[in-house]
């Protein structure tokens, strides 16, 4: 039987000890490392080490493991196109006790195939998805940030047993079976239960396991809110709202009514709007020509609360930019929908002008929606 070494490492972690632990992991050793939830079994994402981890855990080879990263900005290295709802969760909860599982599109998978060796790629993206966690415990994050290879880290327990939350419990499970245990002191695993697990893919946003964060809280904080603003909220912004919902639903493969399940809320308002007016007849006609409708639309005035709640705000011309920034009680993410180009108001003009307006909005939206996946940059 091999000997399991105990390495004491308390906050703030000793940098030399951290480097030593990182090198051990890079060499293929398996070590138990504390997080703020439970202890994990850290192993490099190489076939030989993962096969040994399977044996230690008593798992079948087809069981997936979660990649752990030291800093949340490492997410882009493993998920090139981050859906905005998941980006919100990473920004709000990382580092922290939440695991995010991404189903990658084919474009992203191809990027990752070129980034990693085939054996590592097959471990990380076995079924076209990847799970990531960014722990908050400084001991753990320092070790992960110091390694030059991807590290997977399942909980330190075998099937049907509770995850270990102390050095003593890890020893009871794995003494003589793993190479080392990082002893972080008495109170490292403060939550003493596994992380919340959230998946995003073809079925939308799914809470696979509740942990420290509960389902309702996660769903609320994942909701990515898009707000379109024009003058009266009867022409341009309602057209943008309707077309955005249609484009998003087509992109996600869901109905417009299901957008909230996929983590999106799309709204519109007007800086000088009168409450409760219908969309203009021409605006509804052009929306129907695009395969959607404004029949149920009712205008509403822009408010500071709408601005505060929105993740991104798109306006039609520069006067709206000024109005939004004056009204906002804090800094908001507001942009001209057309980039450097204003979208003129078609009110009172013929159907041809409305059609041109809708085409301009549609083209701008398709570019903007693509940019949603580019780390939150919209310009």
- Secondary structure E strands in the chain: 5-8, 31-34, 39-44, 67-68, 98-103, 129-133, 151-152, 180-183, 196-201, 204-209, 224-230, 264-270, 312-315, 334-336
Catalytic: 317?
no
Output the CA torsion sign for 152, 157, 161, 164: negative
Q: Cβ-count burial of 37 within 10 angstroms (0-12 exposed, 13-18 middle, 19+ buried)?
A: buried
Given 59, 345, 355, 362, which residue is catalytic? Answer: 345
In angstroms, rounded to a whole number, what is the distance separating the alpha carbons of residues 236 and 229?
A: 8
In the residue annotation, 115 being an active-site residue is answered as: no
- Sheet containing 67-68: give its strands across: 5-8, 180-183, 31-34, 39-44, 151-152, 67-68, 129-133, 98-103, 196-201, 204-209
343: which residues sit within 8 A by CB, 6+ positions away? 236, 316, 317, 337, 357, 360, 361, 364
345 in catalytic set: yes
3-state secondary structure 14-64: CHHHHHHHHHHHHCCCCEEEECCCCEEEEEECCHHHHHHHHHHHCCCCCCC
Say how far apart CA 178 and CA 52 lie, in whole Å. Answer: 9
- Catalytic residue, from 134, 140, 230, 244: name it: 230
Q: Catalytic: which of 44, 52, 133, 236?
A: 236
Residue 6 corresponds to which tokens in the numbers above?
């105990």
CA–CA gap between residue 103 and residue 79 (Å, rounded): 9
Residues involved in catalysis: 230, 236, 345
């Amino acid at each position: 039987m091999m000997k399991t070494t105990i390495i004491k490492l308390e906050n703030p972690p000793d940098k030399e000890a951290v480097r030593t632990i990182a090198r051990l992991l890079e060499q293929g050793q398996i070590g138990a490392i504390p997080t703020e939830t439970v202890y994990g079994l850290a192993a490099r994402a190489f076939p030989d080490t993962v096969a040994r981890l399977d044996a230690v855990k008593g798992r079948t080879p087809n069981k997936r493991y979660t990649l752990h990263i030291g800093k949340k900005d490492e997410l882009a290295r493993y998920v090139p196109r981050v859906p905005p709802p998941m980006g919100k969760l990473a920004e709000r909860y990382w580092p922290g006790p939440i695991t995010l599982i991404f189903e990658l599109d084919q474009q992203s998978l191809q990027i990752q195939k070129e980034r990693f060796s085939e054996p590592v790629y097959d471990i990380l993206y076995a079924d076209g998805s990847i799970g990531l966690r960014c722990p908050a415990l400084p001991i753990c994050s320092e070790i992960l940030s110091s390694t030059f290879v991807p590290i997977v880290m399942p909980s330190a327990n075998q099937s049907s047993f509770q995850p270990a939350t102390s050095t003593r419990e890890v020893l009871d499970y794995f003494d003589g079976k793993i190479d080392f245990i990082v002893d972080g002191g008495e109170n490292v695993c403060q939550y003493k239960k596994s992380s919340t697990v959230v998946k995003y893919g073809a079925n939308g946003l799914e809470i696979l396991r509740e942990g420290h964060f509960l389902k309702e809280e996660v769903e609320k904080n994942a909701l990515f809110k898009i707000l379109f603003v024009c003058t009266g909220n009867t022409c341009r912004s309602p057209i943008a709202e309707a077309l955005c919902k249609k484009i998003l639903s087509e992109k996600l493969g869901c109905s417009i009514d299901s957008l909230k399940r996929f983590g999106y809320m799309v709204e519109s308002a007007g800086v000088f709007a009168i409450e409760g007016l219908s969309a203009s007849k021409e605006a509804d006609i052009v929306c129907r020509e695009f395969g959607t409708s404004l029949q149920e639309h009712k205008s509403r005035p822009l408010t500071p609360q709408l601005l505060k709640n929105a993740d991104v705000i798109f306006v039609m011309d520069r006067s709206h930019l000024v109005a939004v920034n004056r009204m906002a009680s804090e800094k908001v993410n507001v942009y001209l929908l057309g980039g450097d180009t204003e979208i003129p108001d078609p009110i009172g003009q013929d159907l041809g002008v409305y059609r041109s307006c809708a085409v301009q909005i549609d083209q701008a939206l398709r570019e903007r929606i693509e940019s949603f996946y580019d780390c939150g940059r919209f310009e």
